[in-house]
Amino acid sequence: MSNSYEELSNLITEKINKLNFIKEPESLYIPVDYCLKNGGKRIRPLMTLLGCKLFGGNTDDAVNAAIGLELLHNFTLMHDDIMDEAPIRRGQPSVYKKWGTNTAILSGDAMLVLAYNHILEVPEDKLKAILEVFNTSITEVCEGQQYDMDFETRKIVSEDEYLNMIRLKTAVLPANCLKIGAMISGNASEEDIFNLYKFGEYFGLAFQIQDDWLDIYSDEKVFGKKTGGDILAKKKTWLFIKALSKADDKLKKTLTDAFYSDCLENNEKISIVKSVYNALNISNIAIREIELYFNQALSYLDKINVDDEDKKPLRDLAKGLMNREY
Amino acid sequence: MSNSYEELSNLITEKINKLNFIKEPESLYIPVDYCLKNGGKRIRPLMTLLGCKLFGGNTDDAVNAAIGLELLHNFTLMHDDIMDEAPIRRGQPSVYKKWGTNTAILSGDAMLVLAYNHILEVPEDKLKAILEVFNTSITEVCEGQQYDMDFETRKIVSEDEYLNMIRLKTAVLPANCLKIGAMISGNASEEDIFNLYKFGEYFGLAFQIQDDWLDIYSDEKVFGKKTGGDILAKKKTWLFIKALSKADDKLKKTLTDAFYSDCLENNEKISIVKSVYNALNISNIAIREIELYFNQALSYLDKINVDDEDKKPLRDLAKGLMNREY
């Protein structure tokens, strides 16, 4: 009997909304509660449950780990928002903006420990192996964030470097959520776990490049915010890096002059950068790249030794996320 | 065969100096290495080994946990220095001062995961129980730091509130180091572990109140820095709280006017506050309080069911630390 991913998603949302983290000192825990309850797609806990279910595991065994992984994700957001000076998170003031840097640091730290507390609830014979994966996930997300910050002050970032950065910062966590779910099931071979991890990793790469694409080419009404934010933030996205690598000297100059300008008006800046992207056909090249990674992800899913029918919720989730418009 | 605490201390220092955390991205890991190698008394790892040794355990089994606990301690320092805007740590620029807030946040996070990685190396049958203690330690240190920050903006802090704050921020970690060491030994009863924990906790309280006392009454030549730093930072120490509670209205006004003044010259401010302390005999009251907690600590050590000779290194360490002048 296979739940749809929507059913499991509702289960997760319900569980998370029932959690109560608020205790003394409230100034430490209210921001934890605020950050976690402030929505989000809950992709990571869902992947944990789906990874477990794929191999016939009982999702009840994976719920605490799933919540732990969502807490971990939100911890990284709370700290990243300080570093990125991001005032808004999911349409609401970020913790850093609402309560200040110190609160976002310390409540983030407390949140990470809460994540570990939830991971401790996995079956004890799997605890050490799962913690090793959990620790690796956090380390890699930190490394990805560090590369991202390092790239801000560099003029040149190669496509490979960019891909490695988003792999660490974005792709490994969902991949490890799937892996931890599969480990909890107790029924997955090492080979299957490897293939499931690679599915998650390639999916994560596709997802992030799509994120870069949506920032420029999405429908603003559906996207829910103005496009071009990455350009204004001088973020070296996949599109920018690809455009730089394909541009001749003249286009390169037009692109970088506009991109790094501190004088151009916002709309004009976005318009120039976009015109270079269009001249280089970057939108289509990006779409092809997204499809390439997405298909690679699906090919790893195909390899896993379980009935195709059991892969449906995971395939549906991945396809649903790739068809998003925001 | 009982090692002296100095021998174990040298072992720890040697082990820590041999660790190499530096890898790519170096901008993430160099600050971790810098922070950990920058000295310190290494009290926490030493307590871990002594807790293990007290019950006849093999200290080799506890070395990784000891290093994990020192990494944890240094993680808290790296983040606290941001929150406290502390430019100097152990005579060197703090990570926050040297590399900026973002580095101190992210390298701190990476350091905490390294701490967990070391804890994973404890004997697997004790992993879950030890991680529960480890998680509790971090949570309580965060709660203590939050109370400390909350107290900054409050006019009145009671002595009980202050003691609870330093218990969480300072005392529980050494207490839990002893406890984890004892757990690793595999030979300690619950009652013995409880008594050892209480020894660490009361010792920690004595140590922190002594820290407050040293800031005012130590010999500047031995202390290595100017006294009165806590007064200038408007830190509500045990001495300040005690003085407020004992002062009549007139002395209270003199004390708070000077303490909160933004106009007084530094030396004058320290001199007025100190004169109120002296009028109220605060130095001696503090010394008596420190002795009270220290003796309470020793009485818990006495209760532990091991040969008195085996308690010597721990007693020597505690006495050594209480006789410090800096």
* pLDDT at res. B323: 86
Question: What is the nearest CA distance from A120 to chain B, expressed in angstroms?
Answer: 7
Read off the pLDDT of residues B45-55 as tens digits, 9 standing for 90 and up.
999 999 999 99
What secondary structure, in 3-state letters, does chain A show? Answer: CCCCHHHHHHHHHHHHHHCCCCCCCHHHHHHHHHHHHCCCCCHHHHHHHHHHHHCCCCHHHHHHHHHHHHHHHHHHHHHHHHHCCCCEECCEECHHHHHCHHHHHHHHHHHHHHHHHHHCCCCHHHHHHHHHHHHHHHHHHHHHHHHHHHHHCCCCCCHHHHHHHHHHHHHHHHHHHHHHHHHHHCCCCHHHHHHHHHHHHHHHHHHHHHHHHHHHHCCHHHHCCCCCHHHHCCCCCHHHHHHHHHCCHHHHHHHHHHHHCCCCCHHHHHHHHHHHHHHCCHHHHHHHHHHHHHHHHHHHHHHCCCCHHHHHHHHHHHHHHHCCCC
Mean pLDDT of chain A: 95
Comparing CB atoms, the residue among B25, B83, B135 nearest residue A116 is B135
Residues in A closer than 8 angstroms to B113, CB to CB, are: 135, 138-139, 142
Give the model's confidence band at B4: pLDDT under 50 very low, under 70 low, under 90 confident, else very high. Answer: confident
Asked whether the beta carbons of residue B146 and residue A28 sit closer than 8 angstroms, the reply is yes
Are A102 and A28 a contacting pair, CB within 8 Å? no
Q: Which of A30-34, A88-92, B99-103 has the lowest mean pLDDT?
A: A88-92
Tell the residue number behind the tokens 């799509």, with chain if given: A210
Question: Nearest CA to B40 among B307, B321, B291?
Answer: B321
A84-114: b or e for each residue (b if 16 or more CB lie within 10 Å)? beeeebeeeebbbbbbebbbbbbbbbbbbbb
Q: What angle, 0 to 180 degrees and rounded to 10, lies between the N-to-C axes of helices B312-322 and B190-217?
A: 20
Q: Give percent above pLDDT 90 in chain B.
A: 92
> Helices then strands (H, E): number in chain B?
17, 2
Q: Is B25 on the interface with A (CB under 8 A)?
A: yes
Mean pLDDT of chain B: 95
Give the model's confidence band at B279: pLDDT under 50 very low, under 70 low, under 90 confident, else very high. Answer: very high
Give the model's confidence band at B325: pLDDT under 50 very low, under 70 low, under 90 confident, else very high. Answer: low
Query: Could you tell me the pTM of the whole model?
Result: 0.96
Average pLDDT (A103-112) is 98
Q: Which residue has the higher pLDDT, A143 or A6?
A: A143
- In angstroms, what CA-CA distances link B77 with A310, B88, B111? 48, 11, 11
* pLDDT at res. B23: 97
pLDDT of residue B221 exceeding 80, the answer is: no
Q: What is the CA radius of gyration of chain A?
A: 20
B108-129: b or e for each residue (b if 16 or more CB lie within 10 Å)? bbbbbbbbbbbbbebeeebbee
Comparing CB atoms, the residue among B25, B113, B146 nearest residue A147 is B25
* pLDDT at res. B5: 86
Residues in B closer than 8 angstroms to A132, CB to CB, are: 120
Tell the residue number behind the tokens 């911890």, with chain if given: A75
Measured distance CA(B171)–CA(A229) in Å, rounded: 47
Q: What is the DSSP string of B11-62?
A: HHHHHHHH-----SSHHHHHHHHHHHHS----HHHHHHHHHHHHTT--GGGG
Q: What is the DSSP string of B208-268?
A: HHHHHHHHHHS-HHHHSS-TTHHHHTT---HHHHHHHHH--HHHHHHHHHHHH-SSS-HHH
Average pLDDT (B105-132) is 98
Instruction: Give me the domains of chain B, ranges plus CATH numbers.
Output: 1-188 (1.10.600.10), 189-326 (1.10.600.10)
* pLDDT at res. A323: 86
pLDDT of residue B326 exceeding 70, the answer is: no
Bridge-partner residues for A89, per DSSP?
A92
Measured distance CA(B194)–CA(B57) in Å, rounded: 17
Are A5 and A56 a contacting pair, CB within 8 Å? no
* pLDDT at res. B216: 95
Give the model's confidence band at B1: pLDDT under 50 very low, under 70 low, under 90 confident, else very high. Answer: very low
Q: Indicate which of A24, A78, A116 best probes the interface with B, i.e. most B CBs within 10 Å of its own CB.
A: A116
Angle at A47 between CA A42 and CA A52, to 5 degrees: 135
Asked whether the beta carbons of residue B142 and residue A110 sit closer than 8 angstroms, the reply is yes
Residue B298, token pair as written in the block = 């020793």
Asked whether the beta carbons of residue B120 and residue A112 sit closer than 8 angstroms, the reply is no
Q: Alpha carbon B279 to chain centroid distance?
A: 30
Q: What is the ipTM of this complex?
A: 0.95
Q: Give percent above pLDDT 70 in chain A.
A: 98
Residue window 104-163, chain A: list those with CB within 8 Å of chain B. 105-106, 109-110, 112-113, 116-117, 120, 124, 127-128, 131-132, 135, 138-139, 142-143, 145-147, 149-150
Q: Give percent above pLDDT 70 in chain B.
A: 98
Task: Name the amino acid, one letter, at A233.
Answer: A
Asked whether the beta carbons of residue A113 and residue B127 sit closer than 8 angstroms, the reply is no
Residue B313, token pair as written in the block = 């290194």
Chain A residue closest in CA terms to B116: A135
Measured distance CA(A191)–CA(A214) in Å, rounded: 34
Residue B225, token pair as written in the block = 């820095």
* pLDDT at res. B324: 75
Angle at B233 between CA B229 and CA B239, to 5 degrees: 70
Comparing CB atoms, the residue among A102, A132, A138 nearest residue B83 is A102
* pLDDT at res. A325: 61
Q: What angle, 0 to 180 degrees and rounded to 10, lies between the N-to-C axes of helices B43-54 and B190-217?
A: 150
Q: Is A86 on the interface with B (CB under 8 A)?
A: no
* pLDDT at res. B295: 97
Tell the residue number behind the tokens 């799962």, with chain if given: A130
Question: What is the nearest CA distance from B29 to chain A, expressed in angstroms?
Answer: 9
pLDDT of residue B79 exceeding 80, the answer is: yes
Comparing CB atoms, the residue among B116, B117, B142 nearest residue A109 is B142
Give the model's confidence band at A39: pLDDT under 50 very low, under 70 low, under 90 confident, else very high. Answer: confident
Average pLDDT (B200-224) is 91
Residue B2, token pair as written in the block = 């009982």
Question: What is the nearest CA distance from B169 to chain A, expressed in angstroms?
Answer: 13
End-to-end CA distance of chain A: 32
Average pLDDT (B151-168) is 96
Q: Which of A51-55, A318-322, B172-176 has the lowest mean pLDDT?
A: A318-322
Tell the residue number behind the tokens 């309560």, with chain if given: A99
Residue A202, token pair as written in the block = 């390639």
pLDDT of residue A222 exceeding 90, the answer is: no
* pLDDT at res. B266: 96
Bridge-partner residues for A92, per DSSP?
A89
Residue A247, token pair as written in the block = 């541009």
Average pLDDT (B285-311) is 97
Comparing CB atoms, the residue among A105, A109, A146 nearest residue B25 is A146
Residue B231, token pair as written in the block = 């007064």
Count of other CB atoms within 10 angstroms of residue B46: 27
Give the model's confidence band at A326: pLDDT under 50 very low, under 70 low, under 90 confident, else very high. Answer: low
Give the model's confidence band at A58: pLDDT under 50 very low, under 70 low, under 90 confident, else very high. Answer: very high
Residues in B closer than 8 angstroms to A82, CB to CB, are: 101-102, 105
Residue A277, token pair as written in the block = 């992207």
Are B63 and B15 a contacting pair, CB within 8 Å? yes
Q: Which helix (H) or strand (E) holds B93?
A: strand B92-93
Residue B59, token pair as written in the block = 């200290």
Give phi and psi for A264, each to the nearest 5.
Answer: -60, 145
Read off the pLDDT of residues A272-289 as tens digits, 9 standing for 90 and up.
999 999 999 999 999 999
Give the model's confidence band at A324: pLDDT under 50 very low, under 70 low, under 90 confident, else very high. Answer: confident
pLDDT of residue B151 exceeding 50, the answer is: yes
